[in-house]
Structure 1
Amino acid sequence: MGKFQWLEALLPLGIIAGMLCIMGNAQYHIHKAYFGRPKHVGQDVWDVAMERRDKRLMEEVAASGN
Structure 2
Amino acid sequence: MGWRWVEAALPLGIIAGMLCIAGNVQYVIHTKAHGRPKHIGNDMWDVAMERRDKNLLSSSSSS
**Same topology, TM > 0.5:** yes
Same amino acid, percent of matched pairs: 63
Give the greater-gyration-radius structure (CA): 1
Q: Which runs of 5+ in 2 are unaligned?
A: none
1:1-36 Cα distance to aligned partner (Å, 9 max, x none): x33212101111111010000000000010000000
CA RMSD of aligned residues (A): 0.7
Which sections of structure 1, spanning at least 5 residues, go unmatched? Answer: none
Q: Which residue of 2 is the match for residue 30 of structure 1?
A: 29
Query: 2 CA distance for matches of 1:3 and 1:18?
Result: 24
CA distance in structure 2 between the aligned counterparts of 1:34 and 1:4, rounded to whole angstroms: 46
Alignment length, in residue pairs? Answer: 63
In the alignment, does 2:9 pair up with 1:10? yes
**Matched position secondary structure for 2:3:** helix
